[in-house]
Each structure stands twice: as C-alpha cells, then as structure tokens.
Structure 1
Amino acid sequence: MTQIFAHRGYSTLFAENTMGAFIEAEKVGADGLELDVQLTKDGEIVVIHDEKVDRTTTGKGFVKDFLFSEIRKLNANKEGLKKEQIPSLIEVLEWLQSNQLICNIELKNGLIPYEGMEEKVIRLVRRYGLSERIIISSFNHYSIVYSYRIAPEIETAPLFIEGIYMPWIYSQSIRAKGIHPKHSAMSDAVLVETMENGIAVRPYTVNKDEDMQRLFKINCTAIITDDPVKALRIRKQIQNKS
C-alpha cells in the first residue's frame, strides 16, 4: 500500500513546517511527514523551508543570520490567529517518539553549505533512537553520500527535479535506498522499474486528484502531498475498487 507523507505537515490547512501542521497530519492518519532543516547562526537545527524567513514568518532575513533565541520569537503562522514557533528538530524528534510516523528530513544545503549539518542531524536522530524511521533527502547529492558514509543505518534518498536515466542504477551507486523525484519528471514505467530494482519511490509534491490516482495505481512506495486528507480518501477509493 502506498504510504502518504504530509509535505511540511498538513500544509494545505495549517502553517507549513510547524508543530501544528505535523500534529494535524498525524491526527488525520498520514503515514509520514516531510520537513526541511537549516541551521541558525549559533548552529541549532531548525525546521523551515526557505533560506529566508520572509515568506513564512513575521520576520525578515536569512535563517543563518538569526540566533536560535531570535528565530524562536518569530511567528511561523503568518496568516493564522494562533502563534506558531519555528520548530527545532529536537522538538519534532521528541514528539516523533510518541507516535509511529516515518519522517523524511530534507537537508536544505543546496544554496548555503551549512557546515556540519549532516553530523548534527544524524547525532540527534541516533540520540532519539529514530534511525529506523528517518529518511534523509536532499537536492545536494554530495550531502546524501556523506550522510550515508557517517550513518549507513539511516536511509537516504536523493531529490530530483528532472528525470534521469535508470535512476535505480544511480541510487545503487550512491547507496541510496530511495528516490524522491518531482512527480511529473519520471514516467510510470521508470518508476515501476525503479521499484522492481529494490529502490523506494516517493514523488513530490502530489496534490492533484489525477496524479494521486496514477501513483496509487502503480502502487508507488509513497507520495509526498500537502493534502493528506484528500490522499487518504483517494487511496481508499482505489483500494475499494481493486
């Protein structure tokens, strides 16, 4: 059965990458979460997608220029009534101990090469005993390879915006157990062949009904979606038909 990962939490209805969005994703029955991490000026791992805080919070500037204590003062629920802090990765991992969700941690180190990010993330994952439930992904494939080298027990999955030739061969060459392609970048045949070669396939960001149906029908490993409720409904419809 295709798993459903809530992209930045239940982000169609709640502020993305906040504890509120993660808790709601678990409540509605998502199988997993996808979230993004970056480092503050004083080296704390925080959960936020953009390199700048401007779009998703009440602040302005680069994540890397804020101290942890400063970034925690911002409201990450810009449009809503309830204040939400930018979570620390520690906060999320602590909470994950109370449930069974799988968590895809995306290292946002394509534009800014955060020093020591891989070690810091891996140290925390191990400290909370979550190695079996974490997938580390990134568009920075050097970072993925490095993560595998220091923590071969934690699954890695490169992110792709474009299709590549025989992605299973590439994945095997960098010891990745999965790939996270843009949902429109690879054909059903390529996705199926990748899975047949033992590589998990979790396309992102799958929000349209027809895209969900297509991926559920080929029994994709997982989909990453902003709307886990819609995905759960469509998955159920397809199961009932088969």
Structure 2
Amino acid sequence: MASVRSAWDAGADGVEVDVHMTRDGEVVVIHDADTGRTGDRRLVVKDSTYDELRAVDVGGGEAGDFAGERIPRLGEVIETLPAGKRLFVEVKCGGEIVQGLRRVIEGSGKEGQIAVICLAADVLELAAGAMPGVKMYWVLGSREDDDGEYAVYDDALIGGAAERGFDGLDVYHEALTAEYVEKAKRAGLEIYVWGVNELAAAERMLRIGVDGVTTDYPADVMRMPG
C-alpha cells in the first residue's frame, strides 16, 4: 500500500499490481506465490487464509523502512484509485481466481478504470469472458537470441491477441520495435511496455508510439517533455 500511495502522490497515471488467491478465496496483492522473499516468514499464498497472510510483515526488508506493511486485499488498492487514474491488475496464478477477481472489480464500481493483464493467454481469455467491460492485455515475456540481443516478438502474437478479443499487448521494451507497434495498432491493439527504468528507454518508447509504460520511477518519467 505504501508503494501504491507513493505512485499516486507522484502523479502517476496508473499503478500495476500482482494478485494471487488465498485458500479462503480472497484476492490479495503480492507478486510471489509465497511470502519467503518479502516477508518475515514463508507462507504459500494458495495454502493460507487471508488472516494468516495478514499477520506476515512484508515491509521490513533489509533497511526496515516499511516495517509493519501488510499484504492487502485487491479491494483495498482499488479504494485508493483516484478518478481519472488506472489500475493494471496482473494475474499471477491460474483461472481459479477469475470469479473472485470479477466480484472485486465489478463490486468496486470502477471497472472502467481497471485492466487485467496476464502472461497466460488461457487465463486472460477466461477473465475476458467473465468481465466484458474490463480491458484485457496479454503480457509477453522476453528472450535473448544467440548474440545476446533481445529477440523481436513474433507477428503471430498480434494475430493471436486479436483473435482472442484482447485489447492489447503488454511487452518488454527491449524487444519492441517501431514496426511492431505499427502492426499491432493496425490490428486494433493497444501497446503497453514494462521494465522501463531508464529515461533513454522511456524516450524511445515515446517516439515509437506506445500507449503507456510501466516504470519504477514514475515521477522521473513524467517529467520528460511530451
């Protein structure tokens, strides 16, 4: 929650969070499938109740700057969503979360401000079927070729996204070209990019016409001209 609030304080246009489902059906905001990396003890999210997870301190870390920070429900994050801003919700588990996710998003009354993103096309399809009023973006990973360069995405992914009725792609910036952006837009897709933590990369994304970037430094990126 501290991270989410800091983004709004910085004037960010949107926030991206990751979600898993607990044993008792709560949709919670956490990147990993367990709390081992970020918490003061290790619990597996899908095997734990919300109350059990809520007892884990996930804000101490090495510096202890956010000691006492707890894993929030997705609804708590949505409550902070200001008018005119967006929330991108990345599904990090399987299709079992879809109905719970639908209840939270539709119950918030802010579904027009929320998008669902996911690496798994089949899970995203389930979400699209359950929430026709929510935008869906297919997250694409990246890989390096034999020369250590990031391989450009296959054009077939554009067709696959369009056929499934997705609203766009969310891709790694290093693997994206201006030509690929043009092809995606001709197919009626929006293009978002992730991993943009250098201003030079953000400037390149702006030049080639992406719809938005995900960055750990929104205040710096938003100060860019244009």
| Same-fold call, TM cutoff 0.5 | yes
Shift of 1:114: 5.7
Matches of 2:98 and 2:46, distance apart in 1 = 16
Which amino acid is the alignment partner of residue 135 of structure 1? A
Matches of 2:10 and 2:91, distance apart in 1 = 26
Matches of 1:76 and 1:168, distance apart in 2 = 38
Shift of 1:148: 1.1
Shift of 1:166: 4.6
Q: Is the 8 A contact 1:201 1:221 kept in 2?
A: yes
Matches of 1:164 and 1:52, distance apart in 2 = 33
Q: Is the 8 A contact 1:39 1:114 kept in 2?
A: no
Match of 1:7?
none
Q: What root-mean-square deviation, in Å, do the aligned CA atoms of Structure 1 and Structure 2 show?
A: 1.5
Percent of aligned pairs with the same residue? 25
How many matched pairs? Answer: 213
Instruction: Between the two structures, name the one with larger relative contact order (CA 8 Å, sep ≥ 6).
Output: 1
Query: Hey, which bits of structure 1, 4+ residues long, moved more than 4 A?
Result: none
Match of 1:33?
15
Which amino acid is the alignment partner of residue 72 of structure 1? R
Matches of 1:24 and 1:81, distance apart in 2 = 14
Matches of 1:164 and 1:127, distance apart in 2 = 37
Matches of 2:2 and 2:35, distance apart in 1 = 18
Matches of 1:169 and 1:29, distance apart in 2 = 35
Match of 1:154?
134
Q: How does 1:7-86 map to 2 (within 5 A)?
A: 19-79=1-61, 80-82=64-66, 83-86=68-71
Instruction: List per-residue Cα deviations over 1:101-134 (Å, max 9, x = no partner).
Output: 201100112xxx362x111111111111111111
Larger CA deviation: 188-197 vs 170-179: 188-197
Q: Are 1:125 and 2:110 counterparts?
A: no
Matches of 2:91 and 2:205, distance apart in 1 = 25
Which amino acid is the alignment partner of residue 129 of structure 2? R
Instruction: In structure 2, list runs of 5 or more residues that go unmatched.
Output: 143-152
Secondary structure of residue in 1 paired with 2:194: coil
Q: How does 1:67-106 map to 2 (within 5 A)?
A: 67-79=49-61, 80-82=64-66, 83-96=68-81, 98-106=82-90
Which amino acid is the alignment partner of residue 84 of structure 2? Q
TM-score by length of 2: 0.88
